[in-house]
Amino acid sequence: MTLTLLYSLNKTGPELDFWTREIEAASNDQYRFVVFNHDPYLPYMSYIRAQLLDNLYFERDHRLMRMYDDVRALAAREGASAIVVDNCFPYHPDWLRTWDIYKVLRTTDGPITAYDRDFAYVHAYDHVLYHSPAYSRDLDMPDKLRYVGAKRTDFWPLGAFDAQFDAQKSEEAVFAGERDVDVVFVGFPYRNKLPVFAKVKKALGERLVMYGWDLKYNAYFNLKYGWPGWSKGRIPFGRPFIDLYQRSKIGFNVHNRGDYTVGSFRNFELPANGVMQISDGGEHLNAFFEEGKEIVGYRDVDDMIDKIRYYLAHDDERLAIARAGYRRVMRDHRMAHRMNQAGMLIEKGMTNA
């Protein structure tokens, strides 16, 4: 018998298109995935923190109530046995208490948002899937989740969507193209990352290409840290993103709390495009890739700069790590694999509930 799982998310535009397409396409004889986009009902910033959602629920906000009616109706029509709620959680615990369905909370941002929009909700869910084992110097994420009352927890990493790499290319084709960008970073300029970007940019100059922020952030970055510190702006999902990565030799990863927030989508998108990855994450890196073989770790920004320079000067070693990382993603970290893994974890949780 096929287990139907509702996947509730908040996305827009091209991101919504490929998330919906690839999640639902992962359906098979065992598990069927149906996407519910809760984004159109009300601005996600109006419930980004648990207290904001509580205010809306107390007022019985009509947009929120319509969302609740619609998701419940969709679950009934599709015969869903479980719901997975991803990223920005719009379902109030007191309302969830009235719904007889297996409820799964899927965390994605780690400790920087955990007290705003994770820990307040875990008591209302039957199962928590966490994307990274990292949490703090004192506890790892599964220990912390149990400490705040999670009933069941499982490690379920993020992964690589086919839309973010060239799934039609063979390994040889991915690595055959010219890579004229030495070092790349694509991502939002969170303030606590800017000192790292500034130091790396000053060390590497034009060898580093950065994308992800607009004119306002560029102006702030250069005023605060000095020239050169220019990002080339935001890059669209899909072909432009893939083409940039497939021209790049090395990509680095900087997480908001360093070793304690490792596990972003970038961790998978870089190697999926044949880019050798250097990342923070410490001991937790090995939960995703074999450190030293499929990925390179660093202790601090000076260590990262030294390793970037080393691998730019030792191309055979860079290429070996890039190929190993690519193969690991193709084997273990594509979204079709990830969704099937979710189905197995949820089915096991429902069996043992």
- Residue 67 and residue 173 share a domain: no
CA pair distance 108, 225, nearest whole angstrom: 30
Nearest to 6 by CA among 64, 80, 67: 80
CB atoms closer than 10 angstroms to residue 209: 19
Q: What is the pLDDT of residue 215?
A: 75
71: domain CATH number is 3.40.50
Q: What is the pLDDT of residue 264?
A: 93
The total number of structural domains in the chain stands at: 2
Q: What is the pLDDT of residue 353?
A: 77
Q: What is the pLDDT of residue 229?
A: 62
CA pair distance 97, 162, nearest whole angstrom: 36
- Residue 305 and residue 170 share a domain: yes
User: Residue 110 sits in which domain range?
Assistant: 3-159+334-352
- Residue 222 and residue 143 share a domain: no
- Residue 242 and residue 318 share a domain: yes
Q: What is the pLDDT of residue 235?
A: 85
226: domain CATH number is 3.40.50.2000
Contact 226, 219 (CB under 8 A): no
Query: Does pTM surpass 0.85?
Result: yes
CB atoms closer than 10 angstroms to residue 9: 21
Q: What is the pLDDT of residue 231?
A: 65
- Residue 146 and residue 11 share a domain: yes
pLDDT profile of the chain (353 residues), mean per 10: 96 96 98 98 96 98 98 98 96 98 94 91 98 95 96 97 96 96 90 85 91 77 69 82 97 89 95 98 95 97 97 98 98 97 98 88
- Residue 270 and residue 199 share a domain: yes
**Rounded to 5 degrees, what are φ and ψ at 272?**
-60, -25
